[in-house]
Amino acid sequence: MSFKKLNLSREMRESVDSMGFKEMTEIQSRSIPVIKSGRDVFGKSQTGTGKTLAFAIPALEYIDNSNPNEVQILVLCPTRELAIQVSSEVLRLAKFKKNIGIAVIYGGVPIERQIIKLKRANIAIGTPGRIMDHLRRRTLRLQNIKMVVLDEADEMLSMGFRDDIEKILVDSPPNRQTVLFSATVSEEILKLTKKFQNNPMFIEIKGKQETVENITQYYYSVPFSKKQDALKLLLLYHCPKLAVIFCNTKKTVDLVADFLKANCFQVVGLHGDMQQNQRTCVMNSFKNGHIKILVATDIMARGIDVEGIDWVINFDIPQNVEYYVHRIGRTGRAGRLGEAFTLCSGRIQIQAIIKISTIIKSNIRECFLPSMPEIIDKQYKRNIAYIEKKININKTGKVEENYEKMLSDLEALNFNVREIALASLEGLFETKDKLLKETKPVKLSFSDSRFSQRRAVLNSKNSKYADKQKISIDFGKANKATHSSIFSLILNHTNLTPKEIGKIDIRENISIIEVPRHKAEVVIKKIKNSKILKQK
C-alpha cells in the first residue's frame, strides 16, 4: 500500500518522499490509519518491521504547533540506543514541519542539557528511569500529553521498568491515546494493556520466516569449559568482516571480549554498565569498520542497526525464540546472505536449539568445529587471494611512488626481488601466522566426542535425523577422497547396506558420514585403522 493513499499533511508527504519511502510495510499500513483515528493500538511486531514510522507519522500529525513548548507526545524506549535511533527517525520525518521540538532523554549524561531541550520540546523520547527523574524535578509535565507510545514494551518490563511505566501512565491524562508495541505477548504485557489501554486494536505481524530466510544457521556441541577456545577456532576459520557475538550477561560480555582481545582480534564489548559516551564510541567504531567484532547483550543489541554484518554468533544460547530471531536478524539484511552459529553445551541446550528450529520452521544444522589443518589451509588461501587482488589493482593503476622508490633502494642494496617479496609477505602475515601456531585444537574427552556425534532431538517423531548419527574420519579432499571411495570403505568393512548409508560430506581434511544411530559405534570400531586409497 502506498503512502499516497494516507490522508497526510503536505509537510508529512514531503518528508516521506524525501526519505525515499514509497510503499508501507505491513505494520505501517495496518497501524497508521487506526492510530490516526485516535484508537489505542497493541502491536505485536519484531524489530526491523518499520514500527517507528507506524507511530511517528500519526504522532507528528497530532501536534498542536500553536504551543511548541508543551510536551504532547511521550515515547518510552528500553535503552538509550533505541531512544536515539527513534529520535533520529522522528527528526527526519519532522523535517518540513514547523515548531517541532524533540527532546531525547536518557541516563548516563548530564541532565542540564535535557532540561533546556524539554523547555522547547513537544515530543519527548526516552528511557523510563530518566523520564521519572525529570518528573520528580518537575522539568517534565504530563498534563498536555496526547499520546504515550511504549516501544518494545516487553524489553522494558524485562529490565524492571514496570513501576516507572505504570507511574508515568497513571500521571498522564486519562483521555490520552496509548500505543504499545511488543515482540512478544506475555502475561505481563497483557496485564499492562488491560490496565492502561482502552479497547485497543490488536495488530500482529508475523515476520519471523521473512527475517531468517537469508540466514544459514548452524549449531556446535561444545563443552562449557571449552566455549572460548571453540569461538576462537570459528573466528580464525571464517574471518568475518563484521560479526556480532551475543552473550546472556554483562559479565560474560566482558570475559569474551577480554579473551578475544588477548588473542589479537579487533573486538569491543557493549552492555548496560558502560557510560553513554563509551557506547556511542563503540557503535561508531563498529559501524565504520574500525572494529570487526562486537560482543553484546540482548538489551544493548536493540540499538544495533548496522548494514553488512555477515556473521552472528550465539556464545550463550538465547533465553527464548524471540531473542534468537532478533539476534540472528542482525545479519542477512537487505537481500544479503548471512550466517548464524550457536554454541551449545550439553544435551538440554541441544534440545533447546532443535526446539527453536521447529518453532521458526528453519533448519539449524549441526556442525563440527574446524580442525587446525583446515584453519591453516583457509588462512593460506585468504592470504593468496589478498596478494592476488593487490597485484591486479596495481596493474590497473599507478603504484605509489614511495613504494617504487623503496623497491629501488632495496635492490640497490643487492637484495633480489624474491628476497624482498618473502620478507614483505612475512611482515604482512606473521602476526596471523603466529596466532595460528599458538592455537590448539579443541580436544573433546571420550564422552564429549560420543555426545558431539549424537544429534539430540526434542522429539524423535518430529526429526528426520532421529535415527541417524554423524561420524567423522580424517580423510578429505586433500587426500583425494570421493563419495564412491568412502561409500566402498563403509560397505567393505561393515555389514551396512547401501540404503543405510546417509549423506557423505567431504571437506578439506575430513569427511562426515551419516550412519544408523544404533550401528554407529560398530561402524567406528570396524573402520578404525583401515585403509582407503592405500592411506591409513
Q: What is the tally of structural domains in the chain?
A: 4
Amino acid at 392: N
CB 120 within 8 A of CB 86: no
CB 371 within 8 A of CB 475: no
So what's the pLDDT on residue 432?
66
Residues 165, 227, single domain; the answer is no
- pLDDT, averaged in runs of 10, over the chain (536 residues): 85 87 87 94 80 92 81 92 87 89 90 92 94 94 95 87 94 95 88 94 71 82 90 90 90 92 88 74 84 83 71 88 82 77 90 86 86 83 81 74 81 84 78 66 46 39 55 84 83 81 83 85 84 76
Residues 303, 414, single domain; the answer is no
Q: What share of the chain is helix, strand, coil (3-state, %, to 5)?
A: 50, 15, 35
Rounded distance, CA 192 to CA 194, Å?
5
Helix (H) or strand (E) holding 377: helix 372-396
CATH of the domain at 174: 3.40.50.300
Flag whether 196 is in a domain: yes
Residues 340, 388, single domain; the answer is no
Residues 366, 381, single domain; the answer is no
Surface-to-core class of residue 90, CB atoms within 10 Å of its CB (0-12 exposed, 13-18 middle, 19+ buried) = buried
Flag whether 534 is in a domain: no
Residues 168, 81, single domain; the answer is yes
Residues 222, 140, single domain; the answer is no
**Rounded-to-10 torsion of CA 362, 363, 368, 374:** -90
Total residue count of the chain as it appears in this document? 536
3-class DSSP assignment, residue 40:
coil
Residues 228, 166, single domain; the answer is no
Report DSSP state, residue 77.
Answer: -
Flag whether 457 is in a domain: no
Helix (H) or strand (E) holding 375: helix 372-396
Strands of the 293-296 sheet, one edge to the other = 267-270, 293-296, 243-246, 311-314, 338-344, 215-221, 364-366
Residues 162, 294, single domain; the answer is no
CB 53 within 8 A of CB 21: yes
Q: Which of 340, 371, 402 is the last residue of a domain?
A: 371
Flag whether 197 is in a domain: yes
Flag whether 532 is in a domain: no
Q: Which residues contact 250 (CB under 8 A, 6 or more apart)?
A: 271, 272, 273, 297
**Domain membership of residue 490 as a residue range:** 467-527
Residues 83, 189, single domain; the answer is yes
So what's the pLDDT on residue 440?
65
Rounded distance, CA 217 to CA 71, Å?
45
Residues 423, 326, single domain; the answer is no
Residues 29, 127, single domain; the answer is yes
CA 9 centroid distance within chain: 37
Flag whether 117 is in a domain: yes
CB 13 within 8 A of CB 6: no
So what's the pLDDT on residue 276?
67
Beta bridge partners of 339: 216, 311
Q: Which of 206, 223, 258 is the last residue of a domain?
A: 206
Q: Which of 182, 206, 230 is the last residue of a domain?
A: 206
Amino acid at 80: R
Which of 339, 334, 301, 90 has the alpha carbon at shortest distance from 183?
301
So what's the pLDDT on residue 23?
85
With helix as H, strand as E and coil as C, how does 216-237 read? EEEEEECCHHHHHHHHHHHHHH
Q: Which residues contact 442 (CB under 8 A, 6 or more apart)?
A: 222, 226, 229, 230, 233, 369
Give, in order, the Cα–Cα distances in Å from 201 to each of 7, 125, 194, 209, 215: 20, 23, 12, 24, 33
Rounded distance, CA 297 to CA 246, Å?
6
CB 510 within 8 A of CB 453: no
Residues 142, 252, single domain; the answer is no
CA 7 centroid distance within chain: 37
Flag whether 41 is in a domain: yes
Flag whether 453 is in a domain: no
